A and B are shown apart, each in its own frame.
Chain A
Amino acid sequence: MPSRRAFLAGLTSASLTPTLGWADVGNPIALSAALRPDGQHVLVGLTAAGAITFEIPLPARGHAAAAHPDVAEAVAIARRPGTFAKVIDCARGAVIQTLHAPQGRHFYGHGAFSSDGTLLFTPENNIATGQGWIGVWDRSAGYKRLDSFTSAGIGPHEILRLPNGLLAVANGGIRTHPSTGRDKLNLDTMRPNLVLFDASGQLTDFAELPADLHQNSLRHIAAARDNTVVCGFQWQGDPFDAPPLVALYTGDGTLSQAQMDDTALFGLDGYIGSVSAFGNDHYAASAPRGNTTFVFDAAGAQTGAVRATDVCGLCAAPQDTCVVTDGTGRVHWLRDNTLTQIATHPLAFDNHLVALTYT
């Protein structure tokens, strides 16, 4: 914690353009939004050992963030149906710019940078039509709004840059309107999907579950080194009638459901909060409403389940480890199907750990 201040105090010039990398801000492996006991919302950097490297105030509750691939800069994006995004210099601990969704659009709390860090992509809702869009912002031009392209679905929630440079978008399928808050307006006809785009917005692949599972809303995604995408769902039907809530996309236009039996699905409220690909072909999925995190092998077979109250954030770390955070301020290591608490902070960690590197 003191290293950043000490380092900054020693800087000879106070350039307004951040050039410090993530290593210069304490080598966090992930970013997380969090709530302090005094009610202040913050964005923190978290190391693999569970230490907090920086803590920066946010103007409202965060959700996830887009992390620049090299520079210690993050864009914290308002949770839906928010319309602002804060560009944060994580070295100086300051908000350096505020982005506003174009008129008639709102954000979904997630975003991603292109591989070279020049472009920022933000999932957006066209409020009038309910169609999903991906906003494109030019970081090198002071985050000038460049363009947007259709997300090929409704309710684009998370966007992710894969190791191969493609963008994966989870279209949750659920239409909402700010006038009715988070009320779900199309549960009978919703049709979620996973779409792959190249950095120019050209659609390269499209995958969805069978029609009878159309109420399984695809919400969160994470990428493995081989570009497999692990998908976490939120079932909109009877929670005790839920199908498997995790699936794998391996690039062939299909989503293959993980194997989760009824006993595993019981008590989850049909709700997966975060997913992660970690270690040697392992996947994790957190179920905050079931206080459980599940582990899957490369074939999608469930190999373990570990319990932690209000668990949600997941991020791959070195040595076949997944770092796990929860709403009670604890940081855990998930390794060999065992959960070990490694740190506690006076914070409620919010939904997601945003990975800074591919391990």
Chain B
Amino acid sequence: MRLALALCLTALPAFADVQRAIETHILPGHTALAQATDELASDAAENCAPDAVRPAFHAAYDAWISISHIQFGPIEDQALNLQMHFWPDPKDSTGKALARLTAAQDPIVDNPGAWGEVSAAAQGFTALERLLYEPQTDTDYACRLTQVVATGLADKSAAILADWPAFATLMTTARANDNTRFQSEDEARRALYTALSTGLEFLHDQRLGRPLGTFDRPRPRRAEARRSERSQRHIELSLAALEDLATTMIDSDLTGTRAAFAKARELAASLNDPALAGVSDPIRRIRVEALQRTVRDIQNAVNTEIGKPLGITAGFNSLDGD
């Protein structure tokens, strides 16, 4: 699949930057996700005990967080984003959906083909995390849930990957007569830039902002994937993934962007706070706040060094707030 796509792309008069981002960032990311979720599904099918599934869960979740900022293309067309990962979830839709299925002993868990019809909140990594890291009273049903969630994640990841070659062609042939999806090179670049800027905003506002809350009211239980103590890891993974996208999508030194990413990665790696519980501790909280400010520095640098050269004035309406 990978080889065929590469051949297909080089035959086209494509735009180097968009093509490079697809070939070296997006496709490897989705390939890794498809492989890791496939192994997750196999492992769960073989032995659904939480201890047995956790290693593959971590590997697959890593792969997801490393590509989850690409929210356009096949994942958007197939409306699979929330089904892969339902977070933030202040209404506890995930807990409620799992409880509903369990209480009803819904046999849909034995039918992977129909599984996509249940609540999106029950289908993604946050649902699997509950099943693997929270005590289960009905272990038999939890086992079947674990298996169907894992299989569903593999099915979805495979479906997304399968559609990428055709979408990649659309992105690199903007202005072709039959291309109604991308009518200019700028639109393809804008899609990449939106993924980058939205990913950084999500990191700042949600992954860091939600647990931070306010000084008077920190919210450690709002940290992403706190049950599996992956909160800090998600921050590190998303920083690495977003830096890779930033440096891939444009031919330029990106001095300020690279410096800000380097500082943020250093701060994130030294947090030593896997579930971000430290947001409640006035001293340890300072480090999380410093990291959040550095992410803001990245956002500003990316705007200056990538957005402006590409002529992208994002958010005239979305940033207005009126």
- Interchain CB contact under 8 A, B90 and A350: no
With an 8 A cutoff between CB atoms, is A288 at the interface?
A: yes
Nearest Cβ on chain B to A163's Cβ, whole angstroms = 26
- Which B residue sits closest to A289, measured CB to CB? B318
Say yes or no: A262-B91 contact (C-beta < 8 A), given A79-B322, A310-B318, A311-B317. yes
Nearest Cβ on chain B to A89's Cβ, whole angstroms = 26
Contacts of B317 in A (CB 8 A): 273, 288, 310-312, 326-327, 349-351
- Which B residue sits closest to A311, measured CB to CB? B317
With an 8 A cutoff between CB atoms, is B143 at the interface?
A: no
- Interchain CB contact under 8 A, B321 and A350: no
Contacts of B316 in A (CB 8 A): 35, 310, 327, 348-350
- Interchain CB contact under 8 A, A310 and B82: no
Contacts of A144 in B (CB 8 A): none
Contacts of A349 in B (CB 8 A): 316-317
Nearest Cβ on chain A to B210's Cβ, whole angstroms = 9
Interface bits B294-322 vs A (CB < 8 Å: 1, else 0)? 00000000000000000001111110111
With an 8 A cutoff between CB atoms, is A319 at the interface?
A: no
With an 8 A cutoff between CB atoms, is A7 at the interface?
A: no
Say yes or no: A310-B315 contact (C-beta < 8 A), given A79-B322, A80-B322. yes
Nearest Cβ on chain A to B81's Cβ, whole angstroms = 8
Given A219, A238, A348, which contacts B90 in the complex, CB threshold below 8 Å? A238
B interface, by DSSP: helix, strand, loop or mixed? loop
The 4 closest A-B pairs by CB, nearest first: A327-B316, A312-B317, A288-B317, A348-B316
- Interchain CB contact under 8 A, A266 and B82: yes
- Which B residue sits closest to A110, measured CB to CB? B322
Nearest Cβ on chain A to B195's Cβ, whole angstroms = 12
Nearest Cβ on chain B to A116's Cβ, whole angstroms = 30
Say yes or no: A240-B321 contact (C-beta < 8 A), given A310-B314, A310-B315, A348-B316. no
Nearest Cβ on chain A to B175's Cβ, whole angstroms = 13
Q: For the complex, what is the distance from the CA of A206 to the CA of B140, rounded to whole Å?
A: 54
Q: For the complex, what is the distance from the CA of A241 to the CA of B76, rounded to whole Å?
A: 22
Contacts of A238 in B (CB 8 A): 88, 90
- Interchain CB contact under 8 A, B315 and A182: no
- Interchain CB contact under 8 A, A240 and B120: no
Binding site for B on A (CB under 8 A): 35, 63, 79-80, 109, 182, 219, 238, 240-241, 262-263, 266, 271, 273, 288-289, 291, 307, 309-312, 326-328, 341, 344, 348-351
Number of chain B residues whose Cβ lies closer than 8 Å to a Cβ of chain A? 21
Nearest Cβ on chain A to B71's Cβ, whole angstroms = 9
Contacts of B89 in A (CB 8 A): 240
Contacts of A328 in B (CB 8 A): 190
- Interchain CB contact under 8 A, A63 and B90: no
Q: For the complex, what is the distance from the CA of A109 to the CA of B89, rounded to whole Å?
A: 35
Say yes or no: A309-B321 contact (C-beta < 8 A), given A35-B316, A266-B82, A350-B316. no
Binding site for A on B (CB under 8 A): 76, 82, 88-91, 93, 120-121, 183, 190, 194, 313-318, 320-322
Contacts of B82 in A (CB 8 A): 263, 266
Say yes or no: A327-B88 contact (C-beta < 8 A), given A63-B322, A263-B120, A351-B320. no
- Interchain CB contact under 8 A, A307 and B315: no
Other A-B contacts than A109-B322, A266-B82, 10 sampled, CB-CB below 8 A, are: A35-B316, A219-B322, A240-B88, A240-B89, A241-B91, A263-B82, A288-B315, A327-B315, A327-B317, A349-B316
- Interchain CB contact under 8 A, B90 and A288: no
Q: For the complex, what is the distance from the CA of A349 to the CA of B89, rounded to whole Å?
A: 33
- The 24 listed contacts between A and B (C-beta, < 8 Å) are A79-B322, A182-B321, A219-B322, A238-B88, A238-B90, A240-B88, A241-B91, A263-B82, A263-B120, A273-B317, A288-B318, A288-B320, A289-B318, A307-B76, A309-B190, A309-B194, A310-B314, A310-B316, A310-B317, A311-B317, A327-B316, A344-B183, A349-B316, A350-B317
Q: For the complex, what is the distance from the CA of A107 to the CA of B160, rounded to whole Å?
A: 49
Nearest Cβ on chain A to B7's Cβ, whole angstroms = 31
Q: For the complex, what is the distance from the CA of A344 to the CA of B184, rounded to whole Å?
A: 11
Nearest Cβ on chain A to B109's Cβ, whole angstroms = 20
Contacts of A219 in B (CB 8 A): 322
Q: For the complex, what is the distance from the CA of A311 to the CA of B90, rounded to whole Å?
A: 27
Nearest Cβ on chain A to B284's Cβ, whole angstroms = 24
Q: For the complex, what is the distance from the CA of A344 to the CA of B316, rounded to whole Å?
A: 16
- Which A residue sits closest to B202, measured CB to CB? A267
Nearest Cβ on chain A to B85's Cβ, whole angstroms = 11
Contacts of A63 in B (CB 8 A): 322
Q: For the complex, what is the distance from the CA of A79 to the CA of B322, rounded to whole Å?
A: 8
Nearest Cβ on chain B to A45's Cβ, whole angstroms = 19
Contacts of A240 in B (CB 8 A): 88-91
- Which A residue sits closest to B312, measured CB to CB? A328
- Interchain CB contact under 8 A, B321 and A327: no
Q: For the complex, what is the distance from the CA of A291 to the CA of B91, rounded to whole Å?
A: 23
Nearest Cβ on chain B to A295's Cβ, whole angstroms = 16
Q: For the complex, what is the distance from the CA of A79 to the CA of B320, rounded to whole Å?
A: 11
Q: For the complex, what is the distance from the CA of A109 to the CA of B121, rounded to whole Å?
A: 40
Q: For the complex, what is the distance from the CA of A309 to the CA of B194, rounded to whole Å?
A: 9
- Which B residue sits closest to A157, measured CB to CB? B322
Q: For the complex, what is the distance from the CA of A326 to the CA of B313, rounded to whole Å?
A: 12
- Interchain CB contact under 8 A, B93 and A262: yes
- Interchain CB contact under 8 A, A241 and B322: no
- Interchain CB contact under 8 A, B90 and A351: no
Count chain A CB atoms within 10 A of each CB in B121, B190, B315 and give the residue with the most. Answer: B315
